[in-house]
A and B are shown apart, each in its own frame.
Chain A
Amino acid sequence: TQLLEQSPQFLSIQEGENLTVYCNSSSVFSSLQWYRQEPGEGPVLLVTVVTGGEVKKLKRLTFQFGDARKDSSLHITAAQTGDTGLYLCAGATSGGGADGLTFGKGTHLIIQP
């Protein structure tokens, strides 16, 4: 059974601060996706990383895929109140098994003004 552990589970910081959330597994994934989910809504895709060591930037968000494709991180620079939400990582497996994504439980992020 593949598991994705996200940390921290909850994070509350002041506007303007930087933060990093982590997504770790003992399994190798062919790709990893980060989503953001608002209450009562579906997950919205932020980024897909595919290559080990890959770094992608989306404005103030920086995503990194571990060299071994077992872990990933999301770094937010100068957080804004609009960044508040649930951040989910999800891995796709290579070869056999389910084609569905394996999700972590998410990081609940609150940015205080």
Chain B
Amino acid sequence: NAGVMQNPRHLVRRRGQEARLRCSPMKGHSHVYWYRQLPEEGLKFMVYLQKENIIDESGMPKERFSAEFPKEGPSILRIQQVVRGDSAAYFCASSPRGRRPDTQYFGPGTRLTVL
């Protein structure tokens, strides 16, 4: 049973370019969460999605960041016009129900480097 999959594992972008990060949840999971881990910082919640719905985006920066989880295909975290401060590890997690208490399973992450 495959775990949460993320790609690419490493992504390098120049300032001003766009970054697209993909996440495929575990089989049978319909709830996806995105987190960001800055160097020397803990993981910070960004957004929680179900299929075709954004449930909670309270942790998302107001500008340049967006997320989607279409009916078919992976969840996408999109960062427009990247800046150096966006360099971080971005993790996706999935859960089967999304109701508390629940357990989230994490992918291996995408390391974004902005030059």
Interface on A for B, CB 8 Å cutoff?
4, 30-31, 33, 35, 40-45, 48, 50, 88, 90, 92-94, 97-106
Contact = CB atoms under 8 A, between A and B. Distances in A.
A41 B45 contact: no
A99 B48 contact: yes
25 contacts: A31-B100, A31-B101, A33-B103, A41-B109, A42-B106, A43-B43, A43-B91, A45-B105, A48-B101, A50-B101, A88-B42, A92-B102, A93-B100, A94-B100, A99-B55, A99-B98, A99-B100, A100-B45, A100-B48, A100-B56, A101-B35, A102-B45, A103-B35, A103-B44, A105-B41
Given A31-B100, A100-B47, A100-B56, 8 more contacts: A31-B101, A33-B104, A43-B106, A45-B106, A88-B42, A100-B45, A101-B93, A103-B43
Given A42-B108, A98-B58, A105-B41, A92 B91 contact: no
Chain A residues touching B, majority SS: loop
B43 A88 contact: yes
Given A30-B101, A100-B33, A35 B106 contact: yes
Interface of B: 4, 6, 33, 35, 41-48, 55-56, 58-59, 91, 93, 98, 100-109, 111
